[in-house]
Structure 1
Amino acid sequence: MRIRTELAVPAALLVVLALAAPAGAATPSSAGAVAPTPPKCRESSLKISAGPSGRPETLRVSVTNRGAHACVIDRVPTVVFGDLDGPALPVPETVSGPYRVPARGSVHAAVRTLDPAATELRVVDRLIVAGDPAHRGRTFGAASLGMPDGIRVWEPVTTRWHRSGAAADAALERYAG
């Protein structure tokens, strides 16, 4: 699985930031300055989808929050191919962090399974998509993704979550073009 690093802000840095902020600016300690983060999404409240994007070796994945309240997932989907070790890497490179999914809302990411310059590849019969690395995720067979001969994989990458499929496709084109 992907190794993630968490970014911690030392208390001393928060003090420096607060002192450097213009008068009246919101700081982490200002009343009402930071909206509370919604709770983590329960896996059972999420609907995970995956399908072809219309581009070769590219898929689109999405998560829909079926709950009545906003919740958070990881900012990068966890996409694992068959029995291969490790998930698709995020583009641009990023660290783990929360991503808010509105109540009854959906978020989307684009996944490129095969590097266009690849000289090697593996073929797998399924992939697993999860909104958070702590979730089991949902398994999709290759045929259900429009790849009846298997999913061709080599150095797969994924975008972060986006509010629309078009935005996810554009991000993949921009960063993994």
Structure 2
Amino acid sequence: MRLRRPPTSAFAVPVAAATAVLLVTTSASASVGNAHSAGLSRLRTCQEKALGVKAAPGGPANVVHISVTNHGGSSCVVDRIPTITFAGLDGSAQTVPPAESGPYTLARGGRAYAALRTADPASTEGHFVGALSVSADPSHHGVSFGAAAVGMPQGIHVWEPITTLWHGSAATASSALADALG
């Protein structure tokens, strides 16, 4: 395949420079809106061994509260979408609202929260599994939790599971899940 070269003219360099400035300005202003992007270039992905991941019953049927704590010596980033998988099943919980992967900053000693619904309680479809796994970043192996540990001793009912993004409080995560469910 042959690439077409753009014509060269006296306007080519100034136009290219103006376009570059516009792109840099647009990128900078777009990142200002992300509270977690400040200083992102110097923050690294949290080491898995420096994180504490917990999962506990979430109150309503088929809901699990998840948290991640940074026990490391400095701030670091995890993916803003928790990776939640289910034993023996392909795929992972989908985010609500739908979102792209991106960084979420955890300060030293900081904690983030998410809420997971494994299945609509009224659903008769789906599978029952014995465990779920939670990872704060897709590059991590994650931590597994048995069905009883998340309040579902008969098995975790899985049908179109959904999770929130990480939030600064458990209440905010629960509220985001409730809003998504209508």
Q: TM-score, normalised by structure 2?
A: 0.79
Q: Give 1 or 2 for the bigger CA radius of gyration.
A: 2
2:86 to 58, 81, 91: 81
1:35 is aligned to 2:30: no
Query: Could you list the per-position Cα deviations for residues 45-82 of structure 1 after superposition, in whole angstroms to 9, with x for gaps in the alignment?
Result: 00000010111110011100001211000000000011
Counterpart in the other structure of 1:15 = 21
C-alpha displacement of 1:138: 0.3
C-alpha displacement of 1:147: 1.1
1:95 to 100, 105, 108: 100
Counterpart in the other structure of 1:155 = 160
Which structure's residues are more often helix, by fraction?
Answer: 2
Q: TM-score, normalised by structure 1?
A: 0.82
Unaligned runs of 5+ in 1: 1-10, 29-33
Counterpart in the other structure of 1:115 = 120
- Structure 2 CA distance, aligned partners of 1:71 and 1:91? 24
Counterpart in the other structure of 2:174 = 169
In the alignment of these two chains, the number of paired residues is 160
1:129 is aligned to 2:134: yes
Q: CA RMSD in A?
A: 2.6
- Aligned-residue identity in percent: 46
C-alpha displacement of 1:145: 1.2
1:46 is aligned to 2:51: yes
- Structure 1 CA distance, aligned partners of 2:57 and 2:67? 12
Unaligned runs of 5+ in 2: 1-16, 32-37
